[in-house]
């Protein structure tokens, strides 16, 4: 499978999750897929393991969109590695918590494992959340303007850092994109 096919499957997932379109999840995952979450921050939580397309869809699309709005997740194109049914990349997310209005900015890695023998869909996804910061709602306009200027859902690290707001709370992300 070519890198473009992997990217299309990952893009389907991102649009499904970010734009609350659960029907697209079947264009990314097998029915028996497994999701593994490794959360290395206290600013967000997820179950460690989720089994099956329906449960993954409930967790990452339906329930996620009940809690957050204006979700934009970007895969960092210059971090991509792929080989023999495995596709790896870094990601960042910008989103607003509906209840509090606080903005969350996060960073992590996707480890996609594809069933290349039959469906060409993901049968396993490991998501690491390495950083997640919560920023006050008075920064919403500034942060959403920045994320809306990025090409969705794929951009390179230079694009991320180029117009990133000069906030001390985002220095960690600026360093990762350097």
Q: What is the pTM of this model?
A: 0.95
Question: Residue 2 pLDDT > 80, yes or no?
Answer: no
**Which residue(s) pair with 94 in the sheet?**
72, 105
**What pLDDT, in 10s, does the model give residues 65-114?**
999 999 999 999 999 999 888 999 999 999 999 999 999 999 999 999 99
**Amino acid 118: pLDDT:** 78
3-177 belongs to CATH 3.10.450.50: yes
**Amino acid 19: pLDDT:** 98
**What pLDDT, in 10s, does the model give residues 10-58?**
999 999 999 999 999 999 999 999 999 999 999 999 999 999 999 999 9
**Amino acid 30: pLDDT:** 96
**Amino acid 1: pLDDT:** 65
Tell how strand 154-155 and strand 68-83 pair up. Answer: parallel
**What pLDDT, in 10s, does the model give residues 115-160?**
878 778 999 999 999 999 999 999 999 999 999 999 999 999 999 9
CA gap 163, 172 in Å, rounded:
15
Task: Report the run of H or E that residue 16 belongs to, with start and end.
Answer: helix 3-18
**Which residue(s) pair with 93 in the sheet?**
73, 106
């Amino acid at each position: 499978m070519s890198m473009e096919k992997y990217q299309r499957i990952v893009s389907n997932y991102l649009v499904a999750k970010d734009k609350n379109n659960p029907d697209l999840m079947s264009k990314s995952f097998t029915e028996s897929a497994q999701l593994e979450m490794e959360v290395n921050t206290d600013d967000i939580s997820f179950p460690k393991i989720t089994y099956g397309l329906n449960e993954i869809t409930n967790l990452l699309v339906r329930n996620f969109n009940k809690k957050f709005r204006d979700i934009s997740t970007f895969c960092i194109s210059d971090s991509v590695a792929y080989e023999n049914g495995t596709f790896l990349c870094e990601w960042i997310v910008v989103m607003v918590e509906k209840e509090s209005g606080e903005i969350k900015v996060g960073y992590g890695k996707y480890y996609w494992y594809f069933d290349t023998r039959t469906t060409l869909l993901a049968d396993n996804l490991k998501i690491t959340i390495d950083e997640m910061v919560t920023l006050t709602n008075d920064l919403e306009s500034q942060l959403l303007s920045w994320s809306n200027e990025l090409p969705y859902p794929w951009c390179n690290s230079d694009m991320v850092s180029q117009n990133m707001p000069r906030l001390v709370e985002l220095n960690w992300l600026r360093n990762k994109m350097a």
